[in-house]
């Protein structure tokens, strides 16, 4: 899910792989912040959206 979403923004497989790895490392380092209000996959997607995908999307607009 994360990889396909990132790849949709970047269209470059190698960059998408790198960013996907960053998302999962960040999720692992912040797992204590996971409250269980949603599924783990939803939380990981939120990590990617707020910290990786949104800044990347802003760069592609300009």
> What distance in Å separates the CA atoms of residue 33 and residue 14, rounded to the nearest whole number?
29
- Domain boundaries along the sequence of the chain: 2-61
pTM for this model (two decimals): 0.75
In this structure, what are the phi and psi dihedrals at residue 10, rounded to the nearest 5 degrees? -95, -35
- Predicted pLDDT at 60: 61
- Predicted pLDDT at 8: 85
> What distance in Å separates the CA atoms of residue 54 and residue 45, rounded to the nearest whole number?
12
Q: Which of the four pLDDT bands, split at 50, 70 and 90, describes residue 62? A: very low
> What distance in Å separates the CA atoms of residue 29 and residue 11, rounded to the nearest whole number?
27
Neighbours of 3 (CB within 10 A): 16
pLDDT digits (tens, 9 = 90+) for 7-58: 888 888 998 899 899 899 999 999 999 999 999 999 998 888 877 767 766 6
């Amino acid at each position: 899910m994360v990889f396909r979403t990132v790849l949709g923004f970047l269209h470059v497989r190698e960059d998408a792989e790198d960013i996907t790895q960053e998302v999962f490392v960040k999720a692992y380092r912040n797992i204590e912040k996971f409250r269980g209000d949603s599924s783990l996959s939803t939380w990981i997607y939120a990590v990617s959206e707020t910290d990786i995908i949104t800044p990347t999307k802003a760069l592609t607009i300009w």
